[in-house]
Chain A
Amino acid sequence: MISVKRKLVRRPVLFAAGAVLIGVLLFANVVAFMRGLDAPWLLGIALVVDMLVIGAGIVVAAREVLVAEQRTEASQERLGAIVDSAMDAIITTDEAQNIVLFNRAAEQLFRVRREDMIGAPLDRLIPARFSGAHHGHIEQFGRTGVTSRRMGDVTTLWALRPGSEEEFPIEASISQALEDGRRYFTVILRDISVRKQAEEALLASQRELRELSARVLEAREDEKSRIARELHDELGQLLTALKMDLSSLRERLRDTEVAAKLDEMGRLLDQTVSSTRRISADLRPLMLDDLGLADAASWLVDDFGKRYGIASRIEINADGGLEHLSKNVSTTVYRAIQESLTNIARHSGARNAWVLVAAQDGNLEVEVEDDGRGIAPEDLAKAHSLGLRGMRERIAYIGGAFEVARTPRGGTRLRIKVPT
C-alpha cells in the first residue's frame, strides 16, 4: 500500500524536475555554444554540467530497474509463500509432464521431498493403470484451451505414493497457463480417503439398515402367517367340531325350548367361526400361499369393495406370469395392494378403485388408482404415510420401483414395478 502511494507522488515531481532541468540545460548549452569562442571556460562548464546530468540520469534509471527487479522478486516470494502454505497439494508440470513446482502440502501428501520431485515425471504420482488415460486427458485438456476444470467428475481419481504401492483417492482441479510460449499445467489436489471412507461407511450402514428392516418385516410376516394358520386350522377345526356336535344334538331333540337355545348357540358359533376366519385372513391370507397372488389379489379387491362400499375392480393380464412368484415378491405385492386399498378407504373419499396387475418381460407391474380427492404432495412426507414409506422400503429391497402421484383427473395412483 505504502509503496504504491510513494510511486504516485514521486513520478510527477520527478518529471517536472527533469523538465525544468532539461530546459535550463538546453538554455545553458545554447548560450555556451553561442559564446563558446569568446569564452571557452563557459563551454567547459557546460560540458561538465551535461556529463553530470547524463550521469544522474543513468543512476536514476539503474535504480528504477533495480527496484522493479526487487519488486518482482518480492511478489514471487509472496506467491511462493502462498503456494507453500496452501492446505492443498499444488503441483505444476511443463508440457512434457515433468514437475516444475511442488509445494509443501504436496510433500506431506505424497511423503516425498520437493528436491526429489522437481524435474521428475508426474507419472511417478499416478498408478500405472491410469497413466495412459491421464496423458490422454491432459493432452485433450491442453488442446481445448479451457483454463481450468475439475478432474474426474464421474469417477474417483487415484494417486500413488512414490516408492510404495500405496494408493489414495483424491479430488483435483487442473489449470493451464502459457508463459514465454510454453504451456504449464497446475494441479491442485487433496486426499479424500477420510470422506470416501465415511461415504462408504454410510452406504454400508444404510444397506444394513435396509436389510435389517426387511428381515424384521419378513419375520413379522412369518409370525402373522403362523398365527393365521393356527387360528384358522386349530381353532377353526375345533369350532367346526363343536358346530357338528351341536347339529347332531339338535337332530335328536324334540324339546322346542331347548332346540331354540341350541339354534341360538349355532348362530353364535357361526359368528365365532366367521370372526376367526376374518382375523386370520387379516393377519395373512392363507389364499396367497394356497392359491397364489392372482386369486388372493382378486379376493382382496372384492372383499375390500364389499367391506367399504367402494366399487372396486381388478384386471389381471398375467398369462401365467403370476404362477411361480417367490414368496417374497407375492407377499410384497399383495401387501402393497392391501396398503393402497386401506389408504383409499381411509383418506381418499373415492367411489371407485381400480387395480391392474400385469406380468411382462420378467417384471410384475401393479397400478392402484382411485377417483378420490388425490394425495397432497405434503402428505407423501408426513408421519401417517409411514405405510407408504414401509412399502417403498419393501419394494426397494426386492429391487423394484415405486411411485405415488395424483392422476390428471384428481385421484391418486400408485405404481409398482418389481422384477420376478
Chain B
Amino acid sequence: MQVFLVEDSATIRERVAAMLEAVPNAELAGHAADADGAIREILAGAPDVVLLDISLAGGSGFDVLRAVRPQAPQIDFYVLSNVSAYPYRQLADTLGVRGFFDKSTEFERVRELIAERAARTPA
C-alpha cells in the first residue's frame, strides 16, 4: 500500500515515517511540505492513501483536497492535524476525507487505521 505524506514539519515526518515502517504492507511513497508540491506529486504518483496535515508551509490541506479529490476520487485521504476544532473537521468532511485525527491525541488511532487499511490492500 502506497502512502503519501503531506507534512511541513521534518520532526513529525520522521516519526510518521518510522510508524509506517512498522506497519506490514505499508510503504511511504513520498512526501511534500506545501500544497502545490503535494497536489503535483499526488496526481503524478497516484498513491493509495494520503496522510494530510492542514497547516502547511504554503497553502493548506484543504487546498490539496479541493484540487486532488475531483481528479482522483479513488485516493483515500486521512487528515492528521494539530488543528482539530469541529469547524475544521466539518470542512474536511464536506471535502470527502475518510478520517480526521488530532496529531497529538489521536496519533495512535491513525497507526491502527493504517495497519487495518494495509491489511485490506493487496500487496
Contact = CB atoms under 8 A, between A and B. Distances in A.
Interface of A: 232-233, 236-241, 243-245, 247-248, 269-270, 273, 277, 286-287, 290-291, 295-296, 298-299, 302
Interface in B72-123: 82-83, 85-88, 90-91, 103-105, 107-108
A290 B11 CA distance: 23
Majority secondary structure, B binding face: helix
Contacts of B82: 232-233, 236-237, 240, 277
Given A241-B15, A291-B88, A295-B87, A233 B55 contact: yes
Q: Which of the listed residues B60, B82, B107, B108 has the most CB atoms from chain A within 10 Å of its own CB?
A: B82
16 contacts: A236-B104, A237-B82, A240-B82, A240-B103, A240-B104, A240-B107, A241-B12, A244-B15, A248-B15, A270-B104, A287-B83, A290-B60, A290-B88, A291-B87, A291-B88, A299-B85
3 closest A-B pairs by CB:
A295-B87, A244-B15, A237-B9
Contacts, number: 65
Contacts of B105: 243, 270, 273
Q: Which of the listed residues B12, B91, B104 has the most CB atoms from chain A within 10 Å of its own CB?
A: B104
Contacts of B103: 240
Contact of B83 (A239, A269, A286): A286
B113 to A, nearest CB: 15
Majority secondary structure, A binding face: helix
B83 A290 contact: yes
Contact of B108 (A240, A241, A247): A247
Interface string B8-41: 0101100100110000000000000000000000
B54 interface: yes
A159 B83 CA distance: 67
Contact of B55 (A240, A245, A269, A290): A290
